[in-house]
Structure 1
Amino acid sequence: MTPRTPPDDAHPYLRAASAGIRHHTRALARPDAAPPSPVDRAHLDVLHAHLTALHQLLAQIAETTRPPHPAAGRHLTTAHTRLWQATTEIHSAFHLLPSNPAEESAKASECHPERLPEGPPVLTICQRHLATGHVIRRTTTPTDLRAHTTACVR
């Protein structure tokens, strides 16, 4: 019999990721620092990777919660869909940024992994986005994606 993990140690990696995001947000908002530079493609790529990982985690949590607690499962599924929408917007913003300051042509906004600033890595933002999109389309209908675009009315 293994000892039960205390509640404060139950999700150390998730807590560490959240702490990292909070630290990054505070560093960007420091009043004594130089004005933050505009976001670059590398920054959005890392943020997209974080959102897709969170998307996978939320999908697993929703699947295990839905059978015993259907109402909570529906809310988690809605959060899952909205997280996908946020991930899609990050991907779109990535392609609106030039790959370098000299290149601001329309070709920079097209989805071509071979033109990424760091070259075509094993898993580019586009490949990651397409793989996650494939998963979301197996579990979510286009109507569901459109239905979850309103703000909370509470």
Structure 2
Amino acid sequence: MNAWLAEHYDLLRGLHILAVIAWMAGLLYLPRLFAYHARAGRGSDLDVTFQTMEFKLLKIIMNPAMIAAWLFGGLLIWVDGAVLRGWDFLAQPWMIAKLLGVVVLTGWHHYLMVERKRIAAGASRRGEKFWRMANELPFLAAIIMVIAVTTEFGQS
């Protein structure tokens, strides 16, 4: 199994990148939908439309993409640790930055799921301005993660 995974490392990496792209697209788009949704009158056709869009974005795109990103990322870590590099790379600053970023993005994803339910129930405490500003947070995390990984910042 390890040999097969190592032989298909580039495929796994490509699938991981595609999953991350889909996940990031959702993490960037859902807060924007929330910002627009904040303008819709409760119970209006627009309110129902946004609720449907937000629900489907989470259930059909974001959740599967997050799971796939975690799965393929975990496989890449396994191949790197067990076959290619050894496990020391997990202690490198660049990898710690990436893993912390994944935890932050996963937490943000969970927060967005909770907020979607609050918005649908008419109990949201957040307004359009908050969602417009919060919309940029996943991209800031992505910048840090991508620069850390591509430069292998702090590699010893």
State TM-score, norm by structure 2.
0.48
TM-score if structure 1 supplies the norm length? 0.49
Work out which structure has the larger RCO, using CA pairs closer than 8 Å and 6 or more positions apart in sequence: 2
